Structure 1
Amino acid sequence: MLQQTMELPSASSAGEKGCCSVPTFSVAENICLVKSNEWVNGEYKHLVLDADDVALTALPGQFFHLQCPPGAQGEALLRRPMSLYRVNQSAREVEFLYKVQGRGTGGLATLVSGDHLNALGPVGKGFVLPANTKHVLLLARGVGLATLTPLAEFARAMGASVTAVLSARSHDLIMSADYLRGVGASVRVVTDEDGTSAISNVDALIRDEHSEQPFDFVATCGSNRLLTLLQDVSRELGITGQIAVEQHMGCALGACYACVRPFRKGPETEQLTYRRVCWDGPVFDLQETVSW
Structure 2
Amino acid sequence: MISQKINRSAVQIDAEVISNKKVGPYHHMVFAVGQVAAACKPGNFVAISVGGSQSALILRRAFAIYRALDKGPMGGSIELVVAAHGEGSKWLCARNVGDFVDLVGPLGTAFGVPTTNANTMLIGGGYGSAPLFALAELLKNRGCRVDMVLGASTANKIYAPLEGKRSVSSLTLTTDDGSAGIHGQISEAIPRLIREYKTEVIYSCGPMGMLSAIAKIAEEFDISHQCSVEEAMACGIGVCMTCVVPIKHEDGIKMVRTCIDGPVMDGSEIIWDRKSVMDAL
TM beyond 0.5:
yes
Return the alpha-carbon distance in structure 2 between the equivalents of residues 87 and 222 of structure 1: 20
User: d(CA) in 2 for partners of 1:206 and 1:247?
Assistant: 23
* 1:141 counterpart (111, 121, 125): 125
Deviation at 1:158, TM superposition (A): 1.2
- Give the deviation of 1:197 after TM superposition: 4.8
The RMSD of aligned alpha carbons is: 2.4
Counterpart for residue 18 of structure 2: 35
Q: Is 1:77 the counterpart of 2:84 in the alignment?
A: no
Distance in structure 2 (CA, Å) of the matches to 1:185 and 1:77: 43
For residues 1-292 of structure 1, the aligned pairs below 5 Å read 7=4, 25-41=8-24, 43-70=25-52, 75-91=56-72, 92-194=76-178, 196-199=182-185, 202-203=187-188, 205-265=189-249, 271-291=252-272
* Counterparts of 1:241 and 1:258, CA distance in 2: 24
User: C-alpha distance in 1, partners of 2:85/2:33?
Assistant: 26
1:142·1:173 contact (CA, 8 Å) conserved in 2? yes
Deviations 1:68-113, CA, capped at 9 Å, x for gaps: 2349xx6421110110101123323200001101111011011111
**8 Å CA contact retained: 2:207, 2:230:** no
Structure 1 length-normalised TM: 0.83
Alpha-carbon deviations, 1:205-254, whole Å to 9, x = none?
Answer: 32333233311110112223322322222112111011111222233222
Structure 1 runs (4+) deviating above 4 angstroms are 6-9
Once residues 195 and 234 of structure 2 are traced to their aligned partners in structure 1, the CA distance between those partners, rounded to angstroms, is: 43
Ranges in structure 1 where 5+ consecutive residues have no aligned partner: 1-5, 10-23
> How far apart, CA to CA, are the structure 2 residues paired with 1:25 and 1:185?
34
Task: Work out the number of aligned pairs and report it.
Answer: 265
Mapped to 1, the partners of 2:183 and 2:41 lie a distance apart of 29
Contact kept in structure 1, 2:37 and 2:69, CA below 8 Å: no
